[in-house]
Amino acid sequence: MKPSSKTVTRKIAISAMLAALGVILQLFEIPLPFIPSFIKLDFSDLPGFIGAFVCGPWAGVLITLIRNVIHIFTGSSAGIGELSNFLLSSSFVLTAGYIYKKMPSFKGVVIGGVAGAVIMGIFSFPVNNFVIYPLYYSVMGLPKAAILQMYQAIRPSTDTIAEALVVFNVPFTIVKGLFSVLFSAIIYKPLEKLIKKM
């Protein structure tokens, strides 16, 4: 059965609002002492994560795309950081959204969210190692040795970028996703009413 025009309009409006919220959240980045300074914690995955439940998995991806395209104009990474964020966040919201679609319940939010966070963390290794960091070296002119030194300042025994990504980036990415899961679990009850209207 095709969704009514009213439902489609509501989904578009909600997606637009969530994308705007994502843009705002992406502006508030928190530096952490146990990870290099160029990697910061933010909660901009949350709107796309919620959107994947309320409006569907691909709506979550669209929300993620919109906020990252807008952030290019305020960021300082020539779009490289935004590309990384889009690829990783999309793996998160797609996984979570599809699991929730099969299991539309609080349990689905938790299982989908945890699975999405783990997949995002695992996916972050090849994305960063083979796409994002090489772009930083070539486009931004950041020496590979200089980036490695940032990791070594925290953990001197780190020998390679690949090792740094496994030790630092992968766990950090998983934990970042789990923050979205935790917050969504807390607000799931009022959110459930909105989902049922879709």
Domains, the chain, in order of start with CATH, read: 5-29+39-196 (1.10.1760.20)
The whole-angstrom separation of Cα 122 and Cα 126 is: 8
Return the pLDDT at 10.
Answer: 86
Q: What is the mean pLDDT of the chain?
A: 91
pLDDT over 70 for what percent of the chain? 95
Interval 46-57: pLDDT, tens:
999 999 999 999
Q: Where are the beta strands (DSSP E) in the chain?
A: 30-31, 40-41
H/E run at residue 7: helix 5-27
Cα gap 94→180, rounded to integer Å: 14
The per-residue pLDDT for 3 is: 63
144 within 8 A of 135, measured Cβ to Cβ:
no
Note the pTM of the prediction, 2 decimals.
0.91
183-195: average pLDDT: 82
pLDDT value of position 198: 61
Segment 52-67 shows an average pLDDT of 95
Quick check: helix, strand or coil at residue 31? strand
